Amino acid sequence: MAAGGGRWAQVAPERIERWIAGFVERHGPVQIGIVDGALSLGAADGAMAQLHPPAGAATPTDVPSFVAGALAPRRLGLVLARRGAVAVGVAQGPDLVVSKVNTSYVQGRTAAGGWSQQRFARRRANQARSAAGEAADIVARLLLPEAGALAAVVVGGDRATLETILADRRLASVAALRRGPLLESPEPRRAVLVEAVAAARAVRIRLTDPPPEP
């Protein structure tokens, strides 16, 4: 479900023209507009679809420009992170062309209290900082040389961990390219990174069903 009503769908760029045609077939003629950078389709039966351009795509002016922008090949940077794990990649169109995955040890939480708990918390915090530093090194190594060619950087996983990594001063130019929503991501692995490429390229659609008949 989408906040404020409706539901979200994701459609690959290669299928979006056919999806729009199907929406018109199901719901009747549509009024087309651009609302906050999204392509808005208001159907005769009251159904609504808001199509958000993929990360790095140009703002559309009509349906043909939306489809062309979604299909245009773009070079994307990807950063997926959770506590102690990071996956960084570069995608050209649908292909992951550069990638690096790294895992560092960070202790889990403990129910112990007192002095031991405090000592454990300090050790855990130090491990987390070290892991974030290693992750920032990888992002810098893979994405800084690419920054001038990237249309966008898409991130996923744990928000707090990502913010810590991207706060590294070296990564200001990478952080400035961040676009799109936070991707859902399990613990980063190369296979997860490959799936993230498809999610980063997808058109996100907010759908609202027609009102019920009286």
Q: Delimit the domains of the chain by residue range.
A: 7-72+202-208, 76-198
Is the model's pLDDT at 91 over the cut of 90? Answer: yes
Task: Tell how far CA 11 is from the center of its chain.
Answer: 14
pTM score, whole prediction: 0.85
Is the model's pLDDT at 115 over the cut of 50? Answer: no
Cβ neighbour number for residue 101 with a 10 Å cutoff: 18
Question: For the structural domain made of 76-198, what CATH number should be given?
Answer: 3.30.420.60
CA atoms within 13 A on the CB side of 110: 15
Output phi, psi for 191, to 5 deg: -60, -35
Instruction: Compute the C-alpha angle 102/103/109, nearest 5°.
Output: 150
Residue with tokens 């690419």: 146
Tens-place pLDDT, residues 48-87: 999 999 999 999 999 999 999 999 999 999 999 988 889 9
The overall average pLDDT reported for the chain is 89
